[in-house]
Structure formats: structure tokens, C-alpha cells
Amino acid sequence: MKSVHKVLENPRGVLKNSTSRKPAQRRSADDRSADILAAARAVIAEQGYEKTLIADIARRAGVVDGTIYRYFENKRDLMVKVAEVWFGEQLLMDSHLDSIHGTQNKLRHLAWRTLSIVRREPVLARFMLMELRPDPNYRNSPFFEMNRKFTHEVLQVCRDAIASGEFVNDISPNMLRDMLHGCIEHRTWAFLRGEGDFDIDEVADGIAKLIYRGMLAQTPATRSDVEAAVARIEEVASKLERKLQS
């Protein structure tokens, strides 16, 4: 049960002395909100979100701590909104998957795309991996929706390949997606921990290759296939033989 400030008779005001307040720098609500978001992003980019204080953001935005709470529920809400804009920008940089042909190339491209976002914006990547995804209501967050696009593309490539008979159908597309994303994330963590850099092309290539090969439909040849082949050979041979005799 939290104590409520409302009914107390001016608990803060009574102690106030005559310190003159600065005039409020008024701006439109949208501008203010954008200012704070921009300031937050700048501070986060500089020092990492974990070391970022509300006070830092407020100073940078030219406002006072309390003002931030007029525009954002709390610190986390602000952080999430920052990441939302930031991540949105990254998604716009996407190149079109449609123009790429071949299942393996598509897989490679999907891996490559995510890895290149990680490389471009490690702080954002870290924030998403550490804060956003573990969140219990991640599935209802705007990020889940944004990520759906990625996920959907992977699943589509996989389903197409299964439908065309290129891929086996005894492994679920979801499994393939988990492998693709999981492997990328594993690599991302190592990168974010600073365990040396990684070659985007090499990693993307390896992932795509392994998955592609693993999923490739390989109907084993049956005995009758071989018998048919032998029969055909004998047929050809005897035809030649006849020709030789004539």
C-alpha cells in the first residue's frame, strides 16, 4: 500500500524558500517529446543504456528530471520508445529479399541482414537482446510486431522450399527459424562481449550453407532405381551390339 501524496497539506510547498525558478522553456508537446527521445538516444549511444541516468538525459535535453515524467511513464518506457524509433530506422535500410534468387542465397541474405544491423548498432542490439526480448510481454510489444517481418520471411522461404520439394518436410520451419536466429544471436553475444570481431559474410555464408544442406530433400535411390538403370544400360549395350553385327 503506497502512501499517497495528494491529501497531505502541501508537504513539499511549505518548506520552499523564495528561490526564483527559471522561466519555463515552453515548446509543443511533440517537440518536447522528440527532444527527450533524441537526448536519450544520444546519451545511450555514448555510454550504453545501463549507465544512462534520467538526470543525464534531462540535462542533455535541457529540461529537468521531472519533466521527463510528463512525457513518459517511467525510465523503461522511455528506453523502449527510444529503441522503437532506432530499430525502425534500421528496418528501413533493409534490402528487398524478392530480388534474390535461390533458397540458399535467400537464407544467406536473411542472416546477413541481421548481422549487419548488429554491426552497425551494437548498443541497440544489446538493448534489444538484454531488455526487450526477455520482457514477459514481449509478444505484445511493438518489437515483436517489427520482428514478425523477419520471422515471417524466414518461414516463407522455408515453406516455399518445402512446397517445391526442395526441402524435406520432417523438420518444422520453426526449427529452422530458431536455428537461424539462435546462431546469429550466439554470435552477436560474443561480438558484444568484445570477443573479437566477426566477418559478416563468412558467418552468414556458414549459416546458410549448413541450414540449406541440412534441409535439402534427398530421396535415397531405391533398388528398383538401380535395377532400372542397369536395364537401360543393358538395352543400350545390346542395341550397340546389334548394330556392330549388322
Partner DNA sequence: AACAAAAATGAAGTCAGTTCATAAAGTGCT
Partner DNA sequence: AGCACTTTATGAACTGACTTCATTTTTGTT
Judged by CB under 8 A, which of 51, 89, 172, 201 binds a second copy? 172
Q: How far is the CB of 142 from DNA (least distance, A)?
A: 20
Q: Which does 99 bind (CB under 5 to 8 A by kind): a second copy, DNA, none?
A: none
224 belongs to the binding site for DNA (CB under 7 A)? no
- In angstroms and rounded to an integer, the radius of gyration of the C-alpha atoms of the chain is 30
15 belongs to the binding site for DNA (CB under 7 A)? yes
State which residue, 54 or 100, has the beta carbon closest to DNA.
Answer: 54
Cell numbers 508537504 correspond to 11
* Interatomic CA distance for residues 47 and 154, integer angstroms: 34
Residue 242 grid cell:
546389334
Residues 6+ apart with CB under 8 A from 2: none
Q: Which amino acid is at 67?
A: T
Q: Which does 241 bind (CB under 5 to 8 A by kind): a second copy, DNA, none?
A: a second copy
- For residues 58 and 68, the answer to whether their CB atoms sit within 8 Å is yes
Task: List binders of DNA among 49-68 (CB under 7 A).
Answer: 52-55, 63-67
* Interatomic CA distance for residues 140 and 37, integer angstroms: 22
Q: Which does 3 bind (CB under 5 to 8 A by kind): a second copy, DNA, none?
A: DNA
Q: Which amino acid is at 75?
A: K
* Interatomic CA distance for residues 210 and 65, integer angstroms: 51
Only segment of 37-45, 47-55, 112-120, 182-190 that touches DNA (CB under 7 A): 47-55
Residues 6+ apart with CB under 8 A from 135: 141
Three-state SS for 16? Answer: coil
8 belongs to the binding site for DNA (CB under 7 A)? yes
Q: How far is the CB of 60 from DNA (least distance, A)?
A: 12
Cell numbers 527559471 correspond to 22
Which spans of this chain sit near DNA (rule: CB under 7 A)? 2-6, 8, 10-16, 19-29, 32, 52-55, 63-67, 69-70, 74-76
Which spans of this chain sit near a second copy (rule: CB under 8 A)? 126, 129-130, 133-136, 138-139, 170-172, 175-176, 178-179, 181-187, 189, 192-195, 203, 206-207, 209-216, 218-223, 225-230, 232-234, 236-237, 239-241, 243-244
